[in-house]
Amino acid sequence: MQDTPQQVADRLRKTHRARRTKLTPETLKANALALADRVKALPSFSASQHIAAYIAIRGEIDLDPLMRVASDAGKSVYLPVLRGSEMQFWPYTPGAELNKREMGLLEPDTNIGAAFEPERLDLVLAPLVVFDDHCQRIGQGGGYYDRCFAFRRDNPNHSPHLLGVAHDSQREPRLQAMPWDIPLDMIATERALYTAPETFA
């Protein structure tokens, strides 16, 4: 019997999570710096004032160098905060103390400031576990990003610009989109940029 699309996604997620944890500290650092150089050169990054990022865990590509570039340029940076099935974005200053939550996730102090509306973000640096050349993405499996940016399903040109970020080793030849997937505009790795059809940097 042929695997269902969900079973295929689950298998790929497990394989790539295991592969990612084997990346050496030297590789993680080099990839983070290369990614920062690649993304900061994008027009979509230069034009953005409000940027959502994340704190890397379990071998994810590290955005700290890029967040520091953004902050030094006077841009506002936000991190995801999970509350039930909802994902919010809260202000973050690179280097500031973070609070540890469930599953080892790190988040900014939500007693300071207020959540920033997803519709007002200019650029979202979205984590992923697997991707393909057409900017299809397999995430952690919780569906947070798809639910948070579901408003883009009816209006694909609505901000923010959705930029997936990953190690190039997380790429697969072709993934099958799920009905609930919100397509990414572009994916950046330490080696290359992958652009969705009819989308530009």
pLDDT along the chain (201 residues), means of 10: 77 90 96 98 97 95 98 97 92 91 82 92 96 89 88 85 96 83 93 79 46
pLDDT of 103 reads 67
Residue 150: which of 107, 180, 190 has the closest Cα?
180
Strand 161-165, strand 106-107: pairing: unpaired
How far apart, in whole angstroms, are the C-alpha atoms of residue 118 and residue 29?
29
pLDDT of 35 reads 98
List CB contacts of 7: < 8 A, sequence separation 6 or more.
Answer: none
Please check whether residue 122 is in contact with residue 84, taking contact to mean a CB–CB distance below 8 angstroms: no
pLDDT of 200 reads 45
pLDDT of 33 reads 98
How far apart, in whole angstroms, are the C-alpha atoms of residue 115 and residue 109?
11
DSSP annotation of 177: P
How far apart, in whole angstroms, are the C-alpha atoms of residue 48 and residue 36?
15
